[in-house]
Chains A and B, each alone.
Chain A
């Protein structure tokens, strides 16, 4: 069998994948860019001073010549897919005056476990300013005109992703937000906010949200689901190493059972514990992060993701599964329906649970392996570590497919 060289893909093979798996135009652009650059160099550590010099060039271009002072620059951990550098900028902020502003630079490595568009991320966060807590956005360098790789600069938001208290009986791995536990009194305060913000996101009208980097799937058809399947099938072809017959089975099952889209919703696509900040003293959600996978699509995709097993855990009795460690799934769905006024279709929810696990398995076992082996990120060791969860995800997907047959 003739195998394509995935580490040095030919232009012809890239063209054939684009033709075989049509998807949203911006998704096609960033996946094509990834493949065209694949044979290039891996990620090399960037000195903070060099990054600041490039940031300064970006500021000069955006704001004109003025004096900037950078201080307290340091790398942040967390966020498996992007480099994050915190810093303080002393500047004359337009409309505000002279101030010191704490900021975060969020930049892609040479290849990311999730290849996404900074422009889409920028537009999505802008669309929810004042509606959902999001970090203040300052600048976007979508095509790496100034910085080494595409990047966003946003304001530093106060808060934590997990409580300082730890579950005494837990040995679960909390890499990338998986398995975070919340004390009961904290979950009681966070859960209503968690549900309400999801409802707000899903009921926002996409037509006046400034989302021109997004394609809109046709209502009353399966186009939305098909674009999603083409996205992840394409990524598996591009990145997968060792074949997984179960993924082929899943792809076939998903394509035979694609749901019809009944309503457009803006969806976050990574709405879960670990992706929001909250202030511990009052358990208030202060910022929703990681909008990079968002799209205009089917609300069931978010609901299925949020209720995924790896993001939740069992309560203290060890019997009741809590969605994102906060509330039982039936309560979560009922609260969502009340808050959004939207119905939840159990069959579509099930389809998207399989779909989400499919995409997660592709990312973890396909892309994670490929980029770690090729030394493309700032934390290849995290990518390698995360390979281990791929089998738990695959097993859950297998059980879900068996339930749905």
Chain B
């Protein structure tokens, strides 16, 4: 998927700086200030997005460690004991989540790009070769893969309004595993 947030944010910042802000009435302080704040927040978003997942995972890791430490709490206070038990139960659930978060999103997108590239290279090799049976097999696989993936890509882009018949494209929520 090529239309990722990185390029959206970068082009929004450039449009604001090069086109929109120079056209804002210099006497309209409120508009000028808010235009600058839009750029500031977009810049912040551009920095935060690539590490959002790691940031959250890091925090969860420390919360789990903290909860682990608090599991040693011994008390005769019933209310405290209930709260400590609830914390222990949630720590268990959070630990399970943390274990499933071992992979960084950047690794996921890198794996996607690698596999796309290798699949494309096989497709090109088959298209340029003489083995028609293999060509048919590879083509069938690529067409099937593309059909399903493009359905999701188009669904993700539905709000942009490109589809001639948007009702024929299921909502992205229903398509993602």
Kindly state whether residue A6 has any CB partner on chain B within 8 Å: no
Structural contact, A243 and B116, CB atoms closer than 8 A? yes
A381 to B11, CA, bound (A): 5
Closest to B14 in A: A380
Contact digits for A242-273, partner B, Cβ 8 Å, 1 yes 0 no: 11111111011101100000000000000000
Structural contact, A1 and B117, CB atoms closer than 8 A? yes
Given A245-B146, A391-B157, do A380 and B120 touch, yes or no (CB 8 Å)? no
Kindly state whether residue B133 has any CB partner on chain A within 8 Å: no
Query: Interface size class for chain B?
Result: 35 or more
Closest to B114 in A: A1
Within 8 A of A (CB), among B73-109: none
A375 to B18, CA, bound (A): 11
Structural contact, B22 and A387, CB atoms closer than 8 A? no
Q: How far is the CB of B50 from chain A (nearest CB, A)?
A: 15
A245 to B114, CA, bound (A): 12
- The listed residue with most B CB atoms (<10 A of its CB), out of A172, A256, A312, is A172
Kindly state whether residue A36 has any CB partner on chain B within 8 Å: no
Kindly state whether residue B154 has any CB partner on chain A within 8 Å: yes
- The listed residue with most B CB atoms (<10 A of its CB), out of A1, A243, A390, is A243
Given A45-B22, A245-B146, do A252 and B128 touch, yes or no (CB 8 Å)? yes
Closest to B128 in A: A252
Given A373-B7, A384-B3, A391-B154, do A249 and B162 touch, yes or no (CB 8 Å)? no
Q: Which residues of chain B are within 8 angstroms of A384 by Cβ–Cβ distance?
A: 3, 7-8, 11
Residue in A45, A247, A388 whose CB lies within 8 Å of B160: A388
A263 to B68, CA, bound (A): 80
A173 to B121, CA, bound (A): 34
Contact digits for A341-377, partner B, Cβ 8 Å, 1 yes 0 no: 0000000000000000000000001000100110100
Kindly state whether residue B63 has any CB partner on chain A within 8 Å: no
Contact digits for B122-133, partner A, Cβ 8 Å, 1 yes 0 no: 011011100000
Kindly state whether residue B176 has any CB partner on chain A within 8 Å: no
Structural contact, A402 and B162, CB atoms closer than 8 A? no
Contact digits for B15-48, partner A, Cβ 8 Å, 1 yes 0 no: 1001100100000000000000000000000000
Kindly state whether residue A313 has any CB partner on chain B within 8 Å: yes
Structural contact, A395 and B150, CB atoms closer than 8 A? yes
Structural contact, A245 and B120, CB atoms closer than 8 A? yes
Within 8 A of A (CB), among B117-157: 117, 119-121, 123-124, 126-128, 135, 139, 142-143, 145-147, 150-151, 153-154, 157
A173 to B157, CA, bound (A): 11
Kindly state whether residue B164 has any CB partner on chain A within 8 Å: yes
Structural contact, A251 and B127, CB atoms closer than 8 A? yes
Residue in B12, B116, B142 whose CB lies within 8 Å of A249: B142
Q: Which residues of chain A are within 8 angstroms of B162 by Cβ–Cβ distance?
A: 172-173, 178-179, 310, 388-389, 392
Kindly state whether residue A91 has any CB partner on chain B within 8 Å: no
A257 to B160, CA, bound (A): 34
Structural contact, A381 and B12, CB atoms closer than 8 A? yes
Q: How far is the CB of A226 from chain B (nearest CB, A)?
A: 15
Kindly state whether residue A331 has any CB partner on chain B within 8 Å: no
Q: How far is the CB of B109 from chain A (nearest CB, A)?
A: 9
Given A243-B113, A245-B146, do A385 and B160 touch, yes or no (CB 8 Å)? yes
A389 to B157, CA, bound (A): 8
Given A252-B126, A383-B11, do A245 and B142 touch, yes or no (CB 8 Å)? yes
Q: Which residues of chain B are within 8 angstroms of A381 by Cβ–Cβ distance?
A: 11-12, 14-15
Q: How far is the CB of A273 from chain B (nearest CB, A)?
A: 14
Kindly state whether residue B10 has any CB partner on chain A within 8 Å: yes
Residue in B11, B143, B145 whose CB lies within 8 Å of A401: B143
Structural contact, A373 and B142, CB atoms closer than 8 A? no
Closest to A3 in B: B117
Contact digits for B151-177, partner A, Cβ 8 Å, 1 yes 0 no: 101100100111111100000000000
Structural contact, A387 and B154, CB atoms closer than 8 A? no
Kindly state whether residue A86 has any CB partner on chain B within 8 Å: no
Q: How far is the CB of B23 from chain A (nearest CB, A)?
A: 10
Structural contact, B124 and A248, CB atoms closer than 8 A? yes
Kindly state whether residue A27 has any CB partner on chain B within 8 Å: no
A172 to B127, CA, bound (A): 37
Structural contact, A244 and B154, CB atoms closer than 8 A? no
Residue in A241, A252, A402 whose CB lies within 8 Å of B143: A402
Q: Which residues of chain A are within 8 angstroms of B143 by Cβ–Cβ distance?
A: 246, 249, 398, 401-402
- The listed residue with most B CB atoms (<10 A of its CB), out of A309, A384, A395, is A384
Residue in B1, B15, B161 whose CB lies within 8 Å of A380: B15
Structural contact, A398 and B2, CB atoms closer than 8 A? no
Structural contact, B160 and A244, CB atoms closer than 8 A? no
Q: How far is the CB of B94 from chain A (nearest CB, A)?
A: 34
Structural contact, B139 and A249, CB atoms closer than 8 A? yes
Q: Which residues of chain A are within 8 angstroms of B121 by Cβ–Cβ distance?
A: 248
Contacts A/B (CB < 8 Å), 16 sampled: A179-B161, A179-B162, A243-B113, A249-B127, A249-B143, A249-B146, A252-B127, A314-B165, A369-B7, A375-B10, A388-B3, A389-B160, A392-B154, A394-B146, A395-B150, A401-B143
Chain B residues with CB under 8 Å of chain A are 1-3, 7-8, 10-12, 14-15, 18-19, 22, 113, 116-117, 119-121, 123-124, 126-128, 135, 139, 142-143, 145-147, 150-151, 153-154, 157, 160-166
Query: Apart from A241-B2, A378-B19, A388-B157, what are 16 other A-B pairs with CB-CB below 8 Å?
Result: A171-B161, A172-B161, A172-B164, A243-B120, A248-B121, A248-B142, A249-B123, A375-B10, A380-B15, A384-B3, A384-B8, A392-B157, A392-B163, A395-B147, A395-B151, A401-B143
